[in-house]
Structure 1
Amino acid sequence: MLRTVSSHQEENRVVFSARSVSEIRAALAELQSRESNVTEQLNKLISSQKDLQKEFGRLDLFRANLSIQGAKTRAISNGMLSDAASTANRISGSVKRLDLEQSRVQETLTVVEQVRELKACVLGVLGSMGAPQDWETAAGYLSRASKIPDEVIDGAFAARVVPTAEVPDSPRITLENASESLCGLFQREFDEAVKDNDGAKITRFFKLFPLINRPEVGLDVYARYAKDGYFYANALTKLFEHIAQIVDGHGGLVERHYGPGKMIGVIERLQNEADRQGGIILDTWSDERRVDRRMTDIKSYAYTFLVQSFLPAQRGGGTPRTSSPALGRSSEDDSIDMKEVDALLGEITTMLSKWSLYTKFVAQKSDSLGDDSEPIIPSFLTNSSLMKKVEDRLVTPFNTMTTFFFRRSVEKAFQLDEPPPDLSLNPRQPLKSTPPHVSSAIEDIMYIANKVIQQTLATSQVTVITSIISTLGRVMGSDFLGMEQRRMRDEHYPRPVVQGGLPPESTITAFIVLINNVDIASSHINQIINTIVDDNEQAPIVQLFPDPHDRELVKTSLQAFTNNFTEKSSELLSDASNVLFNNVMKPRLRPILLDSFRDMEYNLDSGALSNLIETLGHDPQDLSSFQTLVTSRFSHGWDALTKPISRLMTENTYATLLTTTASYLSKLLEKRLWTYAGRIDPNGAARLEHDISGIIKAVVSSGQKTNWRIRDMFLRCSQICMVMSMDDEEWEELQKESGAMEIADKLKPEERKRAREMLLEE
């Protein structure tokens, strides 16, 4: 509209400013055109106004209806829904309060459960640390306690509920004290395991540090252990491996571009560096471990206990078994730490093993690059300064320390030796120990012997092995067998208290234990050596010594050791068995035979025999019990003599004793048979043969295993009875066919004749 007015004003100015009629006409024409357009637009607006008025009317109608509906809605809201809305609001509030209470109850139950768990952990850790000393369980309780939130452990509720009369402190203090105590204990046990070179024990306690919330302590002690135990050996190993890698990696290149044999010069130059670096490692190790000082201490050790044990025993007392020194005398037992010596031997073994591999590698490479002869260690290595260092710093200390370690272990085992408890010759008294019945020293000495042999073999040094095995044989033959022999002779010799009596029971049992000691030691040594020298491809000796020449030298040394020890121990066992037979078995054999044949006559007619049977308390009508009377008497006496002995001795030693006893018994029985010459009739001969057969059967079956070879000792007795009982016709027939020579081959012709003449003539 404003634009139209403005345009109209502009056109008026154009009309009034026109200067000619034509301009006026043109302006008027333009005005008329614009007027017609405006008129047309106005007409359109007027025509559309009717529709707009109609729509406005409809909107007014809708507004009226909407007002009515709004009034009705407000009425419903104020009437019907207000109570429901209020109820819903109350329910919603109650649900929210219930959820809150439930969550608080759940939180309370969780705290209660955690406090209950806390109390169980507190009581459990202290209980495990008490008498049971179950360290794994105690550490497990601490680990469980560490999962409980701090606010629960330090809370007032736990402070009131957890403490008890036995555990009055707060849970936090109790757990911290237990953790600290276990940490110190685990550290001490770990260090002891390191000194003992006990890998299983090291692993056991290393795993427990995290459970007691002390992982940093566990890592620290393990790092110290790794440094102390493997640092120098690993350094030497890495040096050898580095040289081997250079030779393997560049040998072909040097040979190809510089000519055959040129790599030997390179190896020699590398050996010069090995001499320098290896020498530093060995010197530093020797100084760090104070090897020279330990060698001095070892060489000055006097083995006082062993030396005094072999001195003549003083009357009224023997050598004490305690390791405690005499009053007023300083103990040399504590002057050298055996655990440290053992640890040093473990390090030296590792370094010697690596040195052996290195020398074999250099020998092979030098030989393969040179001629085709058998690989030998080249002169630049045998004359090297490192070779001399190995000999001085490793081989010599190893030989000296190993000898000391084994001999001192034997000495200490005897110092702490304890016999098996409550041995008795009473068959009705049960034995508290299990066979073999040996003293505690045997298990210790055999363990150390096996350890020393295996450790020595692990060095892979043939000269070291032959030297140590020879020393081992000397110690076992002189110190071990010598100690057992001296104790048999001076401390527990089974001599009777009164002439004609038997030795005391305690002396007999102690003597048997010493016999068992020697037998079990011999058996174990043979078992150890046989396992090593086995030619199986998986046998240790084959793995350690692939070279047949070296392997044969080691086998020869080991077999000489076991053969010499077996020979010496067998000689001692034979002497000891004879002592036991002469002083314990032999005095009782003659009375047993006398009692077995007591009142027996073998030349009685039927009437006299019936009277004898009745006199001996048997029914003349029932001959079965009388016919076995001699056998039952003998078996009773024989069992009373042998069973108490057999249940204490080893199978091998008892078999030896039984053989000696049976041999002597057969001679006694034979003498008794000859005494019946002229005092026996045919019926009596049959009875006598039956009685002798029963006695032989009782002896043969009395061992721990039936020994049929013992029956051969009684063949002369059996053949005397057989020849004596044979009727004339049968005997004459055998004589014609020379059968008597076969069935009575143990008897001389004059003895067979004598046996035939024993019967009374009818």
Structure 2
Amino acid sequence: MDGLFQTRPHPSSLTTLPDILASLAALEEEESQLSESLAAILTNDEPVRSSLERLRALVPQLEEIGSDSELLANTIAATAQTAERVGGRVRTLDEEMKRVREAGERVSQVMELKVWNSLAELQNAIDSRDWETATRHCARATALPLEVISGPFAESAVPTAELPLPPPQTLQGFREQLRDIFLQQFAQASRARDSNMTTRFFKLLPSIGWEQEGLEAYASFVLTLVQSKSPATMKSSSPLYYVTALTALFESVCSILDQHQPVVEKYYGEGKMQTVVIYLVRECDAVVRRLLNGWEEDRHIGRMISETSTTSFASPTRAVSNALEEQSIDPRDVDKVLNEIAAMHAFLALEKSGIDMDSQNNNSATEESDDTDTASYSSHESLDSDKNIIEIIEKSACRSMFDDVLKRCYMPLETWYLRCTMNQAHRTSMIDDSQMPPVTTLPDIVFYILKSVFLRLVSTGSSDTVEGTSKHIREVLENDYISVIKRKLDESGIDQLFNQLIRPRLRNFIPEIYRDVSYVLDEDGFSASEYQDIVRKRFIKAWENIVDGFKVVLINQRLSRQLTSYCGQDSFTESNYRIFVGQVIDVLIRPWEKYVMTVKYTELGAIRFDQDIRAISTYLSSQAALGDIREKLQRLQQISTLLNIDKDEDVDDFYSSSGIAWKITMTEARAIAALKV
């Protein structure tokens, strides 16, 4: 049947008569099947009738149970009413008993305030200067509920003729009196450095409710310990003054935290050291600010940074290796300042690491002794307290001031110092030509400098400074070491050409120029020498014999092959020619200076010498666009200046007051002045 119903077509799909008749036949068959099923069900009603008979048999029993339930409900209702009446009386009695107990407690507390622990006893303890007993009385009175102390019953029962004020006012007066006494005694004991008396009065303050005042007094006490650590016996000009002062400061801070934190937390509770640390950090900030300001002023840090920031370093190639650049700032002074900065910040880093180490040790010891939940909770409080103290120190102005010194002073000065020393390393390095290939001392010198710089950098204990300065060091290595070596290699062809062909021809250059020349001149000799102008003419002729062939003309075949292998072309470029001229002058300068220091001069001879030097300087300046020719001849010009001062003028006074940036030492100046006859 279900299958027929499921396969019955939809009437809308019956479009032909056979389909309609077939569907109608199927419906009639389904109707007959349903009629047969209903008839079978109606004829089989015995189970239904049996179920109805069983239900009718249960009706009397249910009626009996209903009557019993109604009877039981009536009985319970009467009992419940009785219980409610009894319970109400019991609750009334309980409330009355509670009020009686509260009244009894209130009376006992007032009696305690009046009789057993009376304010009069507190007054007696104060009069007898028994501070511990007075503290106990005051603490017990303060521990009473405020509603008891300020209640009308206490106000009527407690006051006496000696203490007529209400209990709250009387108790507050005693508390303030004890506070003033304890703070005064604490101050006296701290000035006398009496640790027993200091601890005695310090631990009494929190018992009577003056915890904050006690912590502030203790903070003032530890500040005096910090202030007493100043190295007053040492002059500020000493290189160790500021390092020693900051070392003493940081050591005293670590000592205070190590020795005094257990005392504070013993009597005031975990975390109470933070109040003392806040005052301590403020004092440290003030001391550090004062020391750093004094350090910058005494060491002329501002001028040093300004001058080093504008310093230009001459190219340290061999072409100018003998021309030492004048520096207004001595690298040794910068080195001392850098060592000071590193040492000062190192002690600050050691202070923090010491506090961290103490915190870890304290927490480890606490964890080893944690056998109960209470101890575990205490260890967590201690850990939070130490973290808070470290956080306070980390956020202090002292840290930011040192970070500023590192960023503003250390990093630029360290970079300048590295550049300066590396420049000197290029000048002072030596090449051992006896070995193949030739060996230079430059890498050893540079890496020794780098080792010193990095050791000092790491000793600052600042990761940000290490990272930032390392970037600058890398730039210096690339620009002032690697690039210079590459440039030297590029110019090595000119060096070999100069050393093999030109240097031997310069050995007799100065003696030939000054052959038969005397500067001991009278008026006739001066006129003759001025007319002949021998020195200038000889210099120009000798110079042209050496360098003119390299200026624009092609070199002979042998030189051409050498230059082609080194320079890639047959003649000097303008840049190579300037280097070549610079090398020639560098080789001539030293023997030239030595020679003129062996000659005697009259006044007219000194004038003639000055004319010769000026003429040669003008000529050389016209030969190449070499900006430092006059600088190379500066010592000779200063020799001429010293030879031409008046006889009556003192050399030392002239040297000191002339305002000239001398390349000549005072000893050399005296020797030059002695050459005049």
TM-score normalized with structure 1 length: 0.28
